[in-house]
Amino acid sequence: MKKIIISLLFTATPVMLFAQLKVFSDGKISIKRSTKNPYAYLAVENIETSYNNPYNMAIKSEIEFKTNEANMGIMSKSFINSPTSSGRNFGVFGTAGNATSGYNYGVYGQLRGTNNGAAIAGSTSDNIGFYISGKYAGYFDGPTVFNGTMTATSYVTSSDMRLKENVELLSENEDGSTTLGNVLNMNVLKYNFKERHDIPEAERDTIQAIEVSEVTNPEKHFGLSAQELQTIYPDLVYEGQDGYLGIKYMELVPILIRSIQELKQELDEVKGINADDKSQSRSIANGVNTAIATGNVLYQNTPNPFKEKTVIRFRLADDAQNAAICIFDLTGKQLKKLPISSGETSISVNGWELGEGMFLYTLLVNGQEIDTKRMIITK
């Protein structure tokens, strides 16, 4: 039977004439080419080696490098021309285990030499190969998902100014809101993740090997609601290919930095209002304490100074009633009273309504003065 198999191999594949093919009594096949390449072992089933051999390989392949050609030690292709709704397809499948603890690799790649590249590379592109400007253990060209815990000693996001365009300072949001106000409107949540089974509902009955469970993952997490953040900073919300929303948490860091800068500016303004008048300073401090205690907060208007229009932001407690923003000139004369409700977070003021100069605006809730701030209208 072995002679028949060998005869068929030589008949169907003339290139084998340039190689030595041996079939051993234990079923192993050895192929040795006439070039300088060493043996490559091809396993029809399993290859069992003695424990004295520390490196057990089902297939060992080495090639003689040729310049400007695609040199592949092993090429595996498992591709169906037309999409199908059945079966499983693996280009490369690796399983390892029970060797020396810590030295088991399902798939292992090693980058050697001094030239750039990656030990393991992956891409969603149809092109075979892509340029890699560095030396990496792994390089992935396309969306990458980790369904589990990812651990890293550091996480770096590209931020070189040479890679950026349309750069603007985050000094004011398009709707006139302050970054601090937006941060204060973010609800921080704690929650559990549901167990995910990303299998279409129609296919679940036909897949017996996977149990569909609604058990909740007991690990607690802390974060924001992507749907809620989408109404404040839509650019920070990412919709995955599975239709679920994610948050670019790393990009929240600059927003938090900006909100701290705005808070520092407000504190500096509080400290700078008639610093010599200790009674007024005490009044301002009392106003800040009242705002914290009641949950009603008044923010600095933006922009300030302004000429045509400014926005005054505020936050009202759920039980706030008879609330209003009152605007005064420096003599204490009330110029405008703008009623507000707990469903609102800001009002707009036109510069032409008041004229040029410095003005004070106060948040009144239930007849109590919560806080007072200054605004300046220029020519």
Looking at the structure of the chain, the number of domains it has is: 3
**Bridge-partner residues for 105, per DSSP?**
none
Query: Is residue 132 in some structural domain?
Result: no
Q: What CATH number did the domain enclosing 335 receive?
A: 2.60.40.1930
Same domain, 4 and 74: yes
Cα-Cα-Cα-Cα dihedral of 64, 67, 72, 77, to 10°? -150
- The CA-to-CA distance between both ends of the chain, in Å, stands at 101
For residue 182, the tally of other CB atoms under 10 A from its CB is 19
Tokens of 126: 């149809």
Q: Pairing relation of β-strands 117-123 and 135-141?
A: parallel
Using DSSP, state whether 104 is helix, strand or coil: coil
Same domain, 241 and 284: no
Same domain, 2 and 102: yes
CB-CB contact of 350 with 327 (8 Å): no
Cα atoms found within 13 Å of the Cα of residue 323, Cβ hemisphere only = 25
Same domain, 292 and 230: no
Tokens of 82: 């037309």
Instruction: Tell me how far apart the alpha carbons of residues 260 and 253 are, in angstroms, rounded to a whole number.
Output: 11
Same domain, 245 and 287: no
Query: Is residue 281 in some structural domain?
Result: yes
Per-residue pLDDT of the chain (379 residues; tens, 9 = 90+): 444 444 433 443 444 434 456 666 666 666 554 343 333 344 433 444 444 445 555 566 666 666 666 677 777 777 788 888 877 888 888 888 888 899 898 899 999 899 999 999 998 888 777 889 999 999 998 888 887 778 888 888 888 888 888 887 777 666 667 788 788 888 889 988 887 665 555 555 544 444 444 555 678 889 999 999 998 899 999 998 888 899 999 999 999 998 888 888 777 766 665 454 444 444 445 554 544 455 788 888 888 888 888 999 888 887 778 899 999 988 888 999 999 987 788 899 998 888 888 899 999 988 888 888 888 888 7
Query: Is residue 170 in some structural domain?
Result: no
Query: Is residue 168 in some structural domain?
Result: no
Query: How many DSSP H helices and E strands does the chain contain?
Result: 5, 16
Can you give the residue range of the structural domain that contains 201?
179-256
Same domain, 289 and 333: yes
Query: Is residue 165 in some structural domain?
Result: no
Query: Is residue 229 in some structural domain?
Result: yes
Structural element, H or E, at residue 252: helix 252-272
**Bridge-partner residues for 162, per DSSP?**
none
Residues whose CB falls within 8 Å of the CB of residue 34, separated by 6 or more in sequence, listed in order: 18, 19, 20
